[in-house]
Amino acid sequence: MNETDYYPEIKLYFENKFRQRFPTCELYAGIGNLESFFAILPQDRNVLREALADYVSIKADITFVVYNPENGKHVLLLVEVKVKNFTLMQFSQLNGYLVTTGCNLGLLVNIDADLSQDFALILGHKPELLDYAVWQGTLERSIKIGLCTWNTTTQRITFVGFNPINTIDALYKLLQDNLR
């Protein structure tokens, strides 16, 4: 199967998790480029439209926007899905999207596979690749990347344990902290 065949079920998995955890927030999820969001965003969500406008050409596999209508804050989560062992190349694609979009959170999801030996060795020596800061102008921004596996038999996500987003609860906490 192609990685695109798994997008709908992975998207639905996280949608269900996020809706349960953040019942008072609005959740928008899309597959493909960010331009698809403009079709599903309500017309009165100008803050979100403006925040996403500069990044419509980004083609992340799955994108989530969690929006808190009480304070107008939102979090963008980019997800890249791969059908073979994670390598530095797949990581670099997601990392590039995060740096250029201003998004702080990303997940790299592997289908029934694990890290390549080379990438595991790299992360063993450089775990900071998954949790680091970048400067945009005079503002420092924290980027956190989670690695996980989609089990096609159980239809569940398992997080790789040594990264900053190593459980679904760790992801929830980061989302919640950004929505306050």
pTM of the model: 0.93
Instruction: Indicate the helix (H) or strand (E) that contains 23.
Output: none
Question: Could you report the per-residue pLDDT of 45-62, keeping only the tens digit for each?
Answer: 887 788 777 777 788 899
User: pLDDT of 145-172, one tens digit each?
Assistant: 999 999 999 999 999 877 789 999 999 9
Strand partners, 141: 134
Which range of residues forms the domain containing residue 141?
Answer: 3-179
What would the two tokens of residue 60 be? 């992340």
What would the two tokens of residue 178 be?
Answer: 């950004």
Number of domains in the chain: 1
Spatial contact of 158 and 167, defined as CB atoms under 8 Å apart: no
Largest CA distance in the chain: 48
pLDDT of residue 49: 80
